[in-house]
Amino acid sequence: MVKKEPLVSVIIPCYNVSAYVSRAIQSIINQTYTNIEVWIIDDASTDDTLDKIKLFKDARINLVLFKQNTQKIGAVNDVLKKVKGDFICFQDSDDWSAPKRIEKQLQQFLNIQELGICFTGYNRSGDKSDSPLPISLSNEDLRDEFIYFGNKRNNHFHATCCPSMMISKAVLIDFSGYDTYFIGRVGEDIHWIYKILKKYQGITVNEHLYNYTVRKDSLTGNQFMGNNPRAAYAWELLAKIIQKDIYEGIDLLSESNSELLSSIELESCEEALIKTILQKNKIIVMYKSSLSMLIGKSILAPFHFIIYIIKNKIFVKKY
């Protein structure tokens, strides 16, 4: 008897990504592993994203439309209730995957029975950064990154690419999706991965199988452009939420802890403000002592002297 291949569900949430969405979808339907179902979400896009999506005619595609934008979390959580896969993975609509991504991630689950979550290495595009730092590959390093978030012991790693994750159905049953507290915020994926790694093993395929696009008009990018004040203290707050849980057993996102959460939010906001002010002052000091500043001062000095003479009407008396 031939053993049936596992079904993999792929979720692609989309919102105003007309320039990127075709590439993202194409990269999934062209995967070498073909036993997949693709759940494409249009989260109330206002551009022609939906028109681009409808051009794809593949029986494996399921299209889910939302009339009002849910800021990703609501839409993804809804689709997670509908997927049928033995494994579930994600594809951001402005990113794309290498052809063997799903095949190689799935193989890890077939090889490691206790595995609950698997990431891949990744490339960054739209960004000038090119750091040689490695990423977390082992379960130990992933736990250090996510469980000790904000207080991790090993700071010599690049951040794991959260959208590259694949999880097992058992994980989905235990942890049904993103916490709705993070709607309008950032860090929902880190918080979800933290909970998963508390119970299940994780691993990263050490190959660049995911391509991550850095852009200012993405959901995350917009939140750090000053349009969302909550984003200014997002990482301080997320670190406290995780640390309260892991060290004190306090779930700040529980309704019974709403007052404590409000206090922690204020504390995180204050810490972020102090950090920003200190950083600003540091930049000012560095600039004032920089070579360009000194050269600029020397160039402008004669002009300042002339202005001073004019303002104070200092003229040399003629004899």
Whether residue 69 is contained in a domain is answered as yes
Which of 215, 236, 267 delimits the end of a domain? 215
Whether residue 17 is contained in a domain is answered as yes
- What is the model's pTM? 0.81
| Domain carrying residue 242 | 216-288
Whether residue 312 is contained in a domain is answered as no
Rounded CA separation 254/178 (Å): 14
**Residue 69 amino acid letter:** N
Looking at the structure, tell me whether residues 225 and 85 fall in a common domain: no
Dihedrals phi, psi of 2, to nearest 5 degrees: -80, 125
pLDDT digits (tens, 9 = 90+) for 248-267: 999 999 999 999 999 999 98
Looking at the structure, tell me whether residues 191 and 207 fall in a common domain: yes
Q: What is the 3-state secondary structure (H, E, C) of 11-71?
A: EEEECCCCCCHHHHHHHHHCCCCCCEEEEEEEECCCCCHHHHHHCCCCCCEEEEEECCCCC
Rounded CA separation 158/169 (Å): 28
pLDDT digits (tens, 9 = 90+) for 98-157: 999 999 999 999 999 999 999 999 998 855 555 556 899 999 999 999 998 866 555 677
Rounded CA separation 261/251 (Å): 9
For residue 105, the domain's CATH number is: 3.90.550.10
pLDDT > 90: percent of the chain: 67
Whether residue 28 is contained in a domain is answered as yes
In the structure encoding, which two tokens stand for residue 228, read together?
């969302």
CB 197 within 8 A of CB 143: yes
Looking at the structure, tell me whether residues 110 and 240 fall in a common domain: no
Q: How many folded domains does the chain comprise? A: 2
Looking at the structure, tell me whether residues 165 and 246 fall in a common domain: no
Looking at the structure, tell me whether residues 185 and 129 fall in a common domain: yes
CB 109 within 8 A of CB 200: no
Whether residue 164 is contained in a domain is answered as yes
Looking at the structure, tell me whether residues 189 and 233 fall in a common domain: no
The pLDDT score that the predictor gives to residue 224 is 47
Whether residue 300 is contained in a domain is answered as no
Total count of residues recorded for the chain: 319
Looking at the structure, tell me whether residues 62 and 79 fall in a common domain: yes
CB 131 within 8 A of CB 158: yes
pLDDT > 70: percent of the chain: 77
Whether residue 149 is contained in a domain is answered as yes
